[in-house]
Amino acid sequence: MHPFSDRLAYQIRQKKTPVLVGLDPRWAQIPDRLKEGKTEENPQDVAVVFEDFCKRIIDVVAPLVPAVKPQSAFFEQYGPSGMQCLANIIRYASESGLLVILDAKRNDIGSTATAYANGLIGPQGSSPWGADALTVSPYLGDDSLIPFVDVANDRGGGLFILVKTSNKGGAQFQDLLVDGTPLYRHVCSYVEKLAVESAQKTSTECGYGNIGAVVGATWPEQLAELRAAAPRTWFLVPGYGSQGGGAKDVAGAFDKNGLGAIINNSRGVIFAFRAEAYRDRFGEANWEGAVEAATLDMIAALAAETSAGKL
């Protein structure tokens, strides 16, 4: 299995875009016709609807983007039925040629961290869940991260470690000064070290390691700052679209060749038919058309406003 970093770079170059589509299904926002005869009170009904909805999205975006990001929480809340649905969607996305970044923000220490890593990280055939990459929290320190790093490197998988998150409340801890430097900069320095080591260990060819950072589109100045501080680290950038981030805001996340970052948009794509920009053109009857249009618009915006236009 080729290293995750090289597989990501290849997919981005093939699709000529760094767009990442987030799969965050919400019962209330899903088109009504997909929910006919089903109720949210029945987790099995929800699982059927979520699977249908997400698979239809995958069918639309698979030719257009390199990866999708299922948010585990939206499936976990419906218990075993929701989790089976998530497993089915991960497999379907992989079989459709997409990389899958599972947004589960796991972490723990010792054998527990190893168990999480063994279960969640690694493409289809190398782990039970079959996710190419996983989001993790750094709060417990290096001994909580190394088990994830080791499994990712061994299986051709990747990690995205929370560094500067898109929510306003993240600054409460992430911006605290430690020895005169914001905490997020300390975390980023450690992630860069892991990225360089993973690139060396797995002999990546694209210039980046398999260990990445989550840095929000809502912090454009910090994006550029961290790109300069972490030249070997992939950035997963949330906050585009519904949280207020735009193409100009994420320009600093990329290197001069248009690599180095993958930009997530969840609600702005999967529920595009509800947005003013697409409601009249498509409406609920053609919600899949709205998904395609929103994806293409984001691809065009990133190409116009960032170095991703060089892909």
23 and 71 Cβ atoms separated by less than 8 Å: yes
What is the per-residue pLDDT for 31?
97
Average pLDDT, the chain: 96
- The CATH class that applies to domain 4-310 reads alpha beta
Distance CA 46, CA 79 (A): 10
1: pLDDT strictly greater than 90? no
**What string of H, E and C letters represents the secondary structure of the chain?**
CCCHHHHHHHHHHHHCCCEEEEECCCHHHCCHHHHCCCCCCCHHHHHHHHHHHHHHHHHHHCCCCCEEEEEHHHHHCCHHHHHHHHHHHHHHHHHCCCEEEEEEEECCCHHHHHHHHHHHECCECCECCCECEEEECCCCCHHHHHHHHHHHHHHCCEEEEEEECCCHHHHHHHCCEECCEEHHHHHHHHHHHHHHHHHHHHCCCCCCCCEEEEECCCCHHHHHHHHHHCCCCCEEECCECCCCECCHHHHHHCCCCCCCEEEEECHHHHCHHHCHHHHCCCCHHHHHHHHHHHHHHHHHHHHHHCHHHHC
Mean pLDDT of 226-236: 98
150: pLDDT strictly greater than 90? yes
What is the per-residue pLDDT for 310?
97
What is the per-residue pLDDT for 209?
98
243: pLDDT strictly greater than 80? no
242: pLDDT strictly greater than 80? no
175: pLDDT strictly greater than 80? yes
Distance CA 69, CA 63 (A): 16
241: pLDDT strictly greater than 90? no
Mean pLDDT of 245-268: 96
160 and 136 Cβ atoms separated by less than 8 Å: yes
What is the per-residue pLDDT for 30?
98
pTM: 0.97
What is the per-residue pLDDT for 24?
98
Which of 16, 105, 193, 201 is an active site residue? 105
Catalytic residue list contains 105: yes
Q: Give pLDDT tens digits for 38-75.
A: 999 999 999 999 999 999 999 999 999 999 999 999 99
Helix axes 110-120, 142-155, angle to 10 degrees: 30
Mean pLDDT of 159-181: 94
What is the per-residue pLDDT for 245?
85
pLDDT band at 244 (very low <50, low <70, confident <90, very high): confident
